[in-house]
């Protein structure tokens, strides 16, 4: 509620002083930084495109409507025959805010990313989350960044990374640390329940954290406990329990080994049913059919750490071997695991096995649960596509500058190229909404994601038919192409695919 009031006040301030020379019905007069003329405006709300001019002054959209160019001074951008949209917001992104240049995101029109995913967050890398934000404040950012607190890191900070059921005082300490991160400006909390230490978390711990998130009006975003077909309903149910106390979100929704549109519809029905019971749940998806993660994903829970693995190898080897064999076969076989780390980069598990004349299980036992990462072709196209075109599911990349998967450099462009232009499964308005306004409304981010007077000037200008996602599994680090202009906070950051500056981003905090 506090949030809403501050936000309304903010809009009122902007509307009362942003366009000081504009009377009702008159054309704007005066000096502006940019005038984007004659574009087809797709404003991010999902509404139909309309022709309008846009004025930028400072970091904000000063005006949208019709301009008499003789009345203004501004750098003119002719957007005739082009669309003008909000910059895209990536609901699930990875990267190192102090090191990476994040050009992969810029090349696909992403102007805001949400970091701190899957239970792991850079905000815990320094003494405290507020120290992290202070230090980042003095660092130039290529694009806007928002952050979640990370459940796994919170647990580690309290030396609880190996403990299964936590005692009440430990849970309280965890919640206090979470509270500090939320007070410092994190948009919410992420959990990674398929990874350690998140996988150890039990219901009392998760419920307590959800209550803390809820009492601050924030969001809990979760990499579910399991994304396997037979576990998926239970995993969602677990998150819905937390959804009684706060807004919840399923990260990068997928049904591993699930098949068909019907199965996707079942999942959507579970989500809709929860929404009809008053639970606020949202989700995001990336447009690729292979996942990417550590090789630990094919090891059993009792052999996911180096320590457990070493122990198990001596006393449960037969059981371990048959688990891994079955897991790989369930995951579409050794051809469907593509290594992305040395020394097997670019080869499938099947190729490595046949080249070395060894069984694929032996290869995996040599690598161990923490020894490699890869892409896993475990998703069904018909099933995932139902999520990708669903009007209520936001688009994410789950990518990062150095994450070896084509989604890192291609997700948002692929939505336009494949689903809008080539296959026409999404209208451009619906696609843009899923990549901007929808995401902003759910996180929420108050003044971005929609083209509206007073909002921040994160703006794209392009011809949809020229957008190209060029990254592939073999060559994942290839930037997208086709953007004419990208503005971030009113600065021109991309001009005809060339990046002009890497310092126009801002930290986005929730207060
Ligand atoms: Zn994840």
CATH code for the domain of 111? 3.20.20.140
- Determine, yes or no, domain membership for 59: no
- Determine, yes or no, domain membership for 75: no
Q: Would you say 399 and 407 are in contact if contact means Cβ atoms under 8 Å apart? A: yes
Q: Would you say 107 and 481 are in contact if contact means Cβ atoms under 8 Å apart? A: yes
Say how many Å lie between the CA of residue 223 and the centre of ligand 1.
5
- Determine, yes or no, domain membership for 464: no
Shared domain check, 298 and 156: no
Shared domain check, 264 and 302: no
State the alpha helices, DSSP H only, in 185-305: 203-215, 229-242, 260-276
Say how many Å lie between the CA of residue 449 and the centre of ligand 1.
23
- Determine, yes or no, domain membership for 152: yes
The predicted model gives 291-312 an average pLDDT of 92
Residue 318: pLDDT band with limits 50, 70, 90: very high
DSSP assignment letter at 428? H
Shared domain check, 367 and 251: no
278 is written with which tokens?
């008053």
371 pLDDT higher than 90 = yes
The pTM of this model reads 0.88
Q: Say what the pLDDT of residue 16 is.
A: 38
Say how many Å lie between the CA of residue 186 and the centre of ligand 1.
18
Shared domain check, 303 and 277: no
The predicted-structure confidence for 139-165, as pLDDT tens digits, reads as follows 999 999 999 999 999 999 999 999 999
3-state secondary structure labels for all residues of 151-197:
HHHHHHHCCCCCCCCCCHHHHHHHHHHHHHHHHHCCCEEEEECCCCC
Alpha carbon separation from 452 to 108, 303, 457, 488 (Å, rounded): 22, 52, 9, 15
1 pLDDT higher than 60 = no
Say how many Å lie between the CA of residue 251 and the centre of ligand 1.
6
2 pLDDT higher than 90 = no
The predicted-structure confidence for 191-207, as pLDDT tens digits, reads as follows 999 999 999 999 999 99
Q: Say what the pLDDT of residue 6 is.
A: 43
Q: Say what the pLDDT of residue 292 is.
A: 84
Alpha carbon separation from 473 to 162, 193, 399, 466 (Å, rounded): 35, 26, 13, 22
Shared domain check, 280 and 324: no
- Determine, yes or no, domain membership for 456: no
Question: What distance in Å separates the CA atoms of residue 34 and residue 471, rounded to the nearest whole number?
Answer: 32
Say how many Å lie between the CA of residue 205 and the centre of ligand 1.
20
User: Could you say which of 409, 428, 449 is where a domain stops?
Assistant: 449
Q: Say what the pLDDT of residue 8 is.
A: 42
Shared domain check, 306 and 332: yes
Which residues neighbour 94 within 8 Å (Cβ) at sequence distance 6 or greater?
A: 115, 117, 398, 399, 400, 403
Shared domain check, 205 and 143: yes
Question: What distance in Å separates the CA atoms of residue 173 and residue 463, rounded to the nearest whole number?
Answer: 52
Question: What distance in Å separates the CA atoms of residue 15 and residue 313, rounded to the nearest whole number?
Answer: 67
Shared domain check, 406 and 274: yes
Say how many Å lie between the CA of residue 68 and the centre of ligand 1.
49
Q: Say what the pLDDT of residue 293 is.
A: 86
Residue 46: pLDDT band with limits 50, 70, 90: very high
The predicted model gives 51-58 an average pLDDT of 98
Shared domain check, 194 and 263: yes
The predicted model gives 95-120 an average pLDDT of 98
User: Could you say which of 406, 421, 449 is where a domain stops?
Assistant: 449
The predicted model gives 481-488 an average pLDDT of 98
Say how many Å lie between the CA of residue 93 and the centre of ligand 1.
9
Shared domain check, 311 and 172: no
The predicted-structure confidence for 333-342, as pLDDT tens digits, reads as follows 999 999 988 8
247 pLDDT higher than 60 = yes
- Determine, yes or no, domain membership for 37: no
Question: What distance in Å separates the CA atoms of residue 24 and residue 32, rounded to the nearest whole number?
Answer: 19
Residue 450: pLDDT band with limits 50, 70, 90: very high
Say how many Å lie between the CA of residue 450 and the centre of ligand 1.
27
Shared domain check, 201 and 151: yes
DSSP string spanning 449-482? SS--TTSB--EEEE-GGG-B----SSS-----B-
Shared domain check, 146 and 211: yes
Torsion of CA 253, 254, 255, 257, to 10 degrees: -170
344 pLDDT higher than 60 = yes
429 is written with which tokens?
């308005």
Q: Range of 342's domain?
A: 292-376
Say how many Å lie between the CA of residue 479 and the centre of ligand 1.
22
Residues with CB under 5 A from ligand 1 (ion): 118, 223
Neighbours of 200 (CB within 10 A): 18
Question: What distance in Å separates the CA atoms of residue 148 and residue 213, rounded to the nearest whole number?
Answer: 11
Say how many Å lie between the CA of residue 192 and the centre of ligand 1.
7
Q: Would you say 238 and 313 are in contact if contact means Cβ atoms under 8 Å apart? A: no
Could you tell me which residues are beta bridge partners of residue 72?
Answer: 30
The predicted model gives 453-458 an average pLDDT of 98
Residue 19: pLDDT band with limits 50, 70, 90: low
C-alpha closest to that of 406 among 286, 297, 498, 296 = 286
Look up tokens 């980042």; give the residue. Answer: 136
Q: Give the chain's domain count.
A: 2
347 versus 7: the higher-pLDDT residue is: 347
309 pLDDT higher than 80 = yes
10 pLDDT higher than 80 = no
Say how many Å lie between the CA of residue 95 and the centre of ligand 1.
13
Please give the share of the chain, as a percent, with pLDDT higher than 70. 95
């Amino acid at each position: 509620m506090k949030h809403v009031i501050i936000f309304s006040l903010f809009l009122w301030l902007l509307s009362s002083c942003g366009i000081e020379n504009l009377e009702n019905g008159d054309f704007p007069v005066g000096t502006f930084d940019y005038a984007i003329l004659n574009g087809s405006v797709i404003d991010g709300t999902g509404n139909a495109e309309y022709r309008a001019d846009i004025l930028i002054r400072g970091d904000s959209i000063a005006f949208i409507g019709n301009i008499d160019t003789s009345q203004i001074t501004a750098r003119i951008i002719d957007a005739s025959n082009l669309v003008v949209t909000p910059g895209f917001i990536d609901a699930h992104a990875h990267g190192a805010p102090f090191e990476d240049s994040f050009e992969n995101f810029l090349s696909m029109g992403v102007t805001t990313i949400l970091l701190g995913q899957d239970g792991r967050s850079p905000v815990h890398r320094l003494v405290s989350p507020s120290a992290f934000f202070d230090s980042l404040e003095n660092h130039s950012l290529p694009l806007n960044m928002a952050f979640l607190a990370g459940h796994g890191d919170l647990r580690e900070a309290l030396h609880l990374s190996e403990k299964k059921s936590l005692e009440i005082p430990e849970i309280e300490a965890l919640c206090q640390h979470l509270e500090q991160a939320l007070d410092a400006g994190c948009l919410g909390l992420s959990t990674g329940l398929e990874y350690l230490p998140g996988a150890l978390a039990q219901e009392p711990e998760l419920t307590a954290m959800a209550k803390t998130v809820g009492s601050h009006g924030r969001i809990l975003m979760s990499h579910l406990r399991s994304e396997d077909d037979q576990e998926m309903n239970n995993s969602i149910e677990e998150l819905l329990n937390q959804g009684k106390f706060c807004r919840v979100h399923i990260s990068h929704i997928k049904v591993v080994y699930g098949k068909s549109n019907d199965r996707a519809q079942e999942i959507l029905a579970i989500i809709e049913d929860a929404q009809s019971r008053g639970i606020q749940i949202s989700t995001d998806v990336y447009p690729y059919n292979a996942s990417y993660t550590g090789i630990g994903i094919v090891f059993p829970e009792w052999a996911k750490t180096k320590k457990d693995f070493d122990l198990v190898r001596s006393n449960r080897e037969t059981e371990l071997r048959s688990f891994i064999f079955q897991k790989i076969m369930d995951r579409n076989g050794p051809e469907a695991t593509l290594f992305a780390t040395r020394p097997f980069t670019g080869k499938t598990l099947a190729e490595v096995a046949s080249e070395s004349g060894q069984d694929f299980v032996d290869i995996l036992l040599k690598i161990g649960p923490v020894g490699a990462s890869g892409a896993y072709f475990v998703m069904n196209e018909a099933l995932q596509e139902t999520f990708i075109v669903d009007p209520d599911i936001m688009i994410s990349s789950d990518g990062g500058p150095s994450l070896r998967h084509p989604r890192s450099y291609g997700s948002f462009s692929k939505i336009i190229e494949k689903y809008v232009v080539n296959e026409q499964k999404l209208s451009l308005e619906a696609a843009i909404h899923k990549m901007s306004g929808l995401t902003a409304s759910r996180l929420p981010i108050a003044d971005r994601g929609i083209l509206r007077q007073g909002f921040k000037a994160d703006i794209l200008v392009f011809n949809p038919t020229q957008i190209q996602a060029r990254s592939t599994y073999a060559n994942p680090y290839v930037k997208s192409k086709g953007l004419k202009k990208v503005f971030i906070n009113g600065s021109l950051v991309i001009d005809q695919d060339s990046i002009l500056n890497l310092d126009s981003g801002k930290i986005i905090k929730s207060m």
